[in-house]
Amino acid sequence: MKSKCVLIFLVVIWLFNMGKGIGCGSKVNAEINIPLSTWVWDTKKWMLNQEAILEKLQEKKVTNVYLQIDTHLSPSVYRHFIQQAQAQGISVYALDGAPYWIGPSGIEEQEAFFNWITAYQAQADEPQQFLGVHLDVEPYLYKSWENNRAKSILQYQYVISQAAVQSHELHLPLAVDIPFWFDEVPFKNSNGSGLLGRWIIQYADEVTIMAYRNHADKENGIAEITENERKWGRVLSTPIEIGVETMASDEGEYISFSAKGEEKMMQELDMLLTECQAENPPSSIAVHHFDSWLQMKP
Cα–Cα distance for residue pair 148/131, rounded to 1 Å: 36
Q: Are strands 186-189 and 240-245 parallel, antiparallel or unpaired?
A: unpaired
What is the rounded average pLDDT of the residues 154-159?
98
pTM: 0.90
Cβ neighbourhood burial of 57 (10 Å; 0-12, 13-18, 19+): buried
* Chain centroid to CA 44: 21
pLDDT at 2 (0 to 100): 37
Please say whether the beta carbons of 278 and 234 come within 8 A.
no
Please say whether the beta carbons of 171 and 126 come within 8 A.
no
- H/E stretch holding 133 reads strand 132-135
What angle is formed at CA 183 by the lines to CA 182 and CA 186, rounded to 5 degrees? 80
Closest by Cα among 165, 124, 141, 136 to 68:
136
Closest by Cα among 255, 280, 276 to 265:
255
Between 228 and 5, where is the model more confident? Answer: 228
- CA torsion angle 273 276 280 286 (round to 10): -30
pLDDT at 61 (0 to 100): 97
Cα–Cα distance for residue pair 226/240, rounded to 1 Å: 9
Residue ranges of domains in the chain, CATH in brackets: 36-295 (3.20.20.80)
pLDDT at 276 (0 to 100): 86
pLDDT at 30 (0 to 100): 52
Per residue in 234-262, pLDDT (tens digit) is 999 999 999 999 999 999 999 999 999 99
CA distances to 95, 172, 191, 209, 290 from 45, rounded to whole Å, are 16, 26, 41, 27, 12
Per residue in 10-26, pLDDT (tens digit) is 333 333 343 333 333 33
